[in-house]
A and B are shown apart, each in its own frame.
Chain A
Amino acid sequence: MMNPPRHSKNPTTASCRQLIRVLALLCAIGHSLAMAGEQVLVEGILDAEVHKFNEYSFAPFSSDGDIFILGQLQLWSAWQISPGFQAYALGEIATVEAEGNRTTDSEIQQAALRYSSNPGNSGNSSAFYFIEAGKIVPPIAIASERRLSTQNPLIGQPDLLYAQYPLGIQVAGSLDWLDYRAALVDLPLIDPEYLPSEPGSALRPDVGFGITPLTGLRLGVAHTKGPYLNNNVNADLPPGSDWKDYDQRVWGLEFQFSRGYAELNSELVFTRYDVPFQTESTDVMAYFVEFKYTLTPRFYCAFRLERNEYPLVYDGGVSYWFAQKVTVHSVEIGLGYRFSPDTQFKLAYRHDYGDEAYGMGGYGDDEYGGGAYGTPDLYPLGHSLALQLSHHFDVVSWFQADK
């Protein structure tokens, strides 16, 4: 599932054409290299989704009760430059249609060079690390690594750590039962919907480690700290301060357990924001618990409980900054059916509600059926129903077989 359109950039036809050209080029290169027997991989996922919301749903796609249709292609390619060295890129193009309007968006989300200490010579080695640099997925949230529709047991995504694709460098690996990762990235994990503007680019550390005391159980912690505003707000800040003086600090706890036909993933995140002119920081907490159970070889079911506190940081001009917390609870239940190992269908129902309905008209009025500032009915109950058909494909394999 793509990032919510309410966060997406304006449609850019030129960039779409450019992306299509790039992807076509990848396919052509994949074909050529496959024919030459070289080390190349070109894979993709094609998603088709239909969503139906009621007026007040807090689901990622808000279309005021209309039916929302999404078509999305994610395509990635990797090259084995030399043993241990790989270059890879992932691009996404998505078309959404709601209320008679069609919007197309595209983005190169990941593009990086990766060096692995183990270039695939020993799958049983207990020590392993990799270094990658470029446009990467930040290593803070485990959910971000399970965002592809083939990995996500539901259709919606956990919203506690918004998926950004920063520029950065990362080192990660494992040593027996210990895993670790450390990165320097230039963007925070934050939903720009709740900020005065898109976060600016500034280096911040992301660190984390985890332990696997027994197979199938992993406990992890993560932390990051860095600026979350941008230089557009400098004029509204206290004299002598800079947007980089105001930090977002994140502490994350990760829990993963699986056994037999059951799989549990959970994440708890505390986030603290420094807000200009405010003597106290704004603290928010979010978590999700996601459970999946395989019923038969083809059928599985899943649910996700989610609680998100969103920090609405408001820049009302010089000396007029404040932040409000908005709490939204969500539950999503779904049923999946596998037509084949590469093709699956999902049906999911999502229910949202807010128990602390405070906010500002400027953020909530149009999109969330909101009322005036401070009214308790800003986030009434909402629900949505969604269908998703996703198919994974491997371009190189098309050229390596005779049938």
Chain B
Amino acid sequence: MSGNLQTRLRAPAVTITFWLALSLFLLPAGVHAQSDMPTATGTILGQVLISRKLASKRMRFRLYPGFKPLPPPTGVEGIDDERANVVIYLKSVPLTAVAPASGDAPQIKQVGETFVPHVLPIVQGTTVDFPNQDPIFHNVFSLSGTKSFDLGRYPKGDSRSVTFEQTGIVPVFCHLHSNMSAIVLVLDNSFFSTPNAEGRYRIEGIPAGTYTVVGWHERSEPVEQQVEVLAGQVVELNIVIPIADDEPSAP
């Protein structure tokens, strides 16, 4: 009796083990097949040129300075750094091609009374951490229609998190320091890139098809260009983000 019972109990276990092993065997193969399909995807890369005016620094000034030092000037030291605030992304990507968010939660740090990074592109559904690394309080908030939140005041070493469920632009501010601002750009797909210091960007693994590539900067109208991505091909596409009466910078 006990032997039969043992057999009957063992039988499903063997079955489960078999299918689990089969799944484990097939799953990486599938992932591998998907990620190793050079004939199914292509790459877009290129140079980002931006207007000099987009890199203009803002003066730091407090009418009532209190007793704390002024933070560094807003903006960046030069046009090269300002390119870090540009996001190149694909619009209207088919849902089947959308890659899920992965990896550690991205962060917007509060350091030196500045949000770092100033612009953070994410995929919808991503949770962003807001750690405070300053020896003073910050009060991070947003009143965006895409996502409104108020994280309250918390000290150095503490962090709060926000999950962004909807796509859109979420301007982020600090109640205590009006010169602090950041932007979370919530996108519906993971095909986006931020240019490096030389202004070069690269978006890989794009399924073959025709897409609208958008060059986005917070102080400029989005620049859109159509591009056809061919399987296994690399498409070179330069993005110029102008302000009407200013010349774009040389790379």
Contacts and interface: CB of A to CB of B under 8 A. Distances in A.
B161 to A, nearest CB: 15
A240 B59 CA distance: 54
B61 A41 contact: yes
Contact of B67 (A37, A90, A125, A179): A179
A306 B57 CA distance: 43
A297 B221 contact: no
A395 B53 CA distance: 16
Interface residues of A, number: 59
B70 A120 contact: yes
Contacts of A261: 150, 152-153
A403 B67 CA distance: 36
A338 B244 CA distance: 33
Contacts of B244: 402
10 contacts: A40-B59, A123-B70, A123-B134, A174-B67, A179-B67, A180-B67, A297-B141, A297-B149, A402-B220, A402-B243
Contacts of A338: 143
B87 to A, nearest CB: 15
A118 interface: yes
Given A145-B66, A215-B136, A215-B155, 9 more contacts: A118-B69, A123-B69, A128-B67, A130-B65, A181-B67, A259-B153, A339-B143, A341-B171, A401-B219
Interface string B26-62: 0000000000000000000000000111001111110
Interface of B: 51-53, 56-61, 63-73, 111-114, 134-137, 141-143, 148-150, 152-156, 171, 173, 178, 219-221, 242-244
Contact of B70 (A76, A90, A119): A119
A17 interface: no
Given A39-B57, A41-B58, A298 B148 contact: yes
A119 to B, nearest CB: 7
A10 interface: no
A401 B59 CA distance: 15
Interface string A84-114: 0010101000000000000000000010001
Interface in A366-403: 392, 396-397, 400-403
Contacts, number: 130
Nearest to B136: A215
Interface centre among B64, B66, B69 (most CB of A within 10 A): B69
Interface of A: 34, 37, 39-41, 76, 78, 80, 86, 88, 90, 110, 114, 116-125, 128, 130, 137, 145-146, 148, 172-174, 179-181, 210, 214-216, 258-261, 263, 294, 296-298, 338-341, 392, 396-397, 400-403
Contacts of B59: 39-41, 78, 80
Contacts of B112: 122-124
- The 8 lowest CB-CB distance pairs between A and B, nearest first, are A123-B112, A179-B67, A123-B71, A128-B69, A145-B64, A174-B67, A118-B69, A297-B150
Given A215-B136, A297-B141, A340-B143, A173 B219 contact: no
Contacts of A396: 58
Contact of A294 (B60, B143, B150, B219): B150
Nearest to B64: A145
A400 B219 contact: yes
Given A297-B149, A400-B53, A116 B70 contact: yes
A172 to B, nearest CB: 6
A389 to B, nearest CB: 16
Nearest to B51: A402
A34 B246 CA distance: 13
Contacts of A181: 67
A33 B145 CA distance: 34
Nearest to A172: B67
A231 to B, nearest CB: 32
Contacts of A121: 72
Contacts of B53: 37, 400
Contact of A260 (B58, B136, B153): B153
Contacts of A339: 143
B153 to A, nearest CB: 5
Contacts of A392: 178
Contact of B143 (A90, A297, A402): A297
B143 A120 contact: no
B61 A78 contact: yes
Interface centre among B70, B136, B153, B220 (most CB of A within 10 A): B70
